[in-house]
Chains A and B, each alone.
Chain A
Amino acid sequence: MSLTAIGLGFIVIGAGLGIGLIGKGAMEAMGRQPEVLPKIQTAMIIGAALIEGVALFAIVLAWLVDK
């Protein structure tokens, strides 16, 4: 259980870093080119969702392995 919890922590750290980087990039791009803001937003959400998907896979696997 504790090992799974640590693993889950790592997953969250990784996903958080990834989504944070996406957010950073998107913010900078928005600041640079406000005219393509909607496109950047969509791309940002898709990227974040894909990272989230990977993180959720890992969480589900951790859950299954733990069981």
Chain B
Amino acid sequence: MVKSFRILLVSVFIWVSGTILFAEEHEGKAAEEQQFDALGMIMHHISDSHFWHVIAFEKKDGSVFEISIPLPVILIYDGSIHLFLSSAFHHGKSVVQKGNHFFKLHHDKIYVTDAAGELTFSEDGTPENIKPLDFSITKNVASMWMSVLIIFALFVSSARKYKGKPSAPSGIQSFVEPLILFVRDDIVIEQIGEEKADRFMPFLLTVFFFVWINNLIGLIPFFPGGSNVSGNIAFTFTLALFAFILINVNGTKTYWKDIFATPGVPGMVRIILIPIEVVGIFTKPFALMIRLFANITAGHIVILSLTSLVFILKTVYVSPVSMSLTLFMFLLELLVGLLQAYIFTLLSALFIGMAVHNEEH
């Protein structure tokens, strides 16, 4: 994380100043450093963290100056809850003692260790120590809460403007209303149908804006953005789980009949079809989960890879290419962020619409 920010800062600075002399000085310095680990940096960026980094850079004497917000760590282990700030780990250097237990941070995961903080590693390099149940407020959780605050600010304040006599939208309403109408008319009503749409409107509207705002926050390259909430499998898993529950709880007789007694299909074929249909119940939300995760994470990986191009190729001359490609990807990701929120909502609505469909067909 430290490195990624340094890299980001340096590349932006180089690109802006554009002087070769200045750049060469830094290049010479970079060459002295150890091999740049692009994959590690990218993986670090797109995974969750117990710290919320603001800024970090290396001082002239080689020491690292860093500002990062320590986040609360909540652990459940051995039947008790342990609560402390993540700064107690000192970035994995210290072992934290809580009662009789010792915890150590290793690659953003918390392990139970002995007093000395010994970790036993398996053959492929992952620690074999027990992991406590980690309910910490991580960077992703904090970032998600920020998005929730933004959404509240956007919609609860604009909802207030709707009180009183009907009038033409003004101010924030004119931003919010077309989006709401778009979700209502072009997604929910079109896929579910007029008479049943109202029941699912709040869920789908919430999903749309929750995903979209988190996608956008993930694209902000500096604090307080830059987290990868909507590209985290846990986030997409949860949303897909809600969609899964909603689809199957509201499934009509027709929906279940189509699965277990597909009309117009002979008995033998039905035996083959039933497992396929049952698997289909799970693949639909699974596809939702994977799609959002893969699209957003891939976007982050591509942007970070393009940014790291200067350091991978170890030449500053590639920086205009790298930076213009990064800019292009940022713009594309802005579109993808909206598109994926749309597709997630659209497909949820489509599946719900299929489940609540009542007619024989």
Contact = CB atoms under 8 A, between A and B. Distances in A.
A24 to B, nearest CB: 20
A21 interface: no
Interface residues of A, number: 12
Given A38-B186, A42-B186, A42-B190, A53 B290 contact: yes
Interface centre among A38, A42, A53, A57 (most CB of B within 10 A): A53
A46 B186 CA distance: 13
A50 B286 CA distance: 12
B68 to A, nearest CB: 31
B287 interface: yes
Given A56-B287, A56-B291, A57-B287, A49 B186 contact: no
Contacts of B343: 45, 49
Given A56-B294, A59-B294, A46 B287 contact: no
A46 B346 contact: yes
Contact residues on B (Cβ < 8 Å of other chain), bracket = 10 to 19
B294 A49 contact: no
A46 B190 contact: no
- Per DSSP, chain A at the interface is helix
Nearest to B347: A49
A56 B290 contact: yes
Contact of A53 (B186, B190, B287, B350): B287
Interface string B325-347: 00000000000000000110011
Interface in A32-62: 38, 42, 45-46, 49-50, 52-53, 56-57, 59-60
Nearest to B287: A53
Contacts of B291: 49, 52-53, 56
A46 B350 contact: yes
Nearest to A52: B291
A2 to B, nearest CB: 16
A50 B283 CA distance: 11
Contacts of B290: 53, 56-57, 60
A40 to B, nearest CB: 13
A52 to B, nearest CB: 6
A45 B342 CA distance: 10
A53 B291 CA distance: 6
A22 B350 CA distance: 19
A42 B287 contact: no
Chain B CB count within 10 A is highest, among A46, A56, A57, for: A56
Interface of A: 38, 42, 45-46, 49-50, 52-53, 56-57, 59-60
Given A38-B186, A56-B291, A57-B290, 12 more contacts: A42-B346, A45-B343, A45-B346, A46-B347, A49-B291, A49-B346, A53-B283, A53-B290, A53-B291, A56-B290, A57-B283, A57-B286
12 contacts: A38-B186, A42-B190, A45-B343, A46-B346, A46-B347, A49-B291, A49-B343, A49-B347, A53-B291, A56-B290, A56-B294, A60-B294
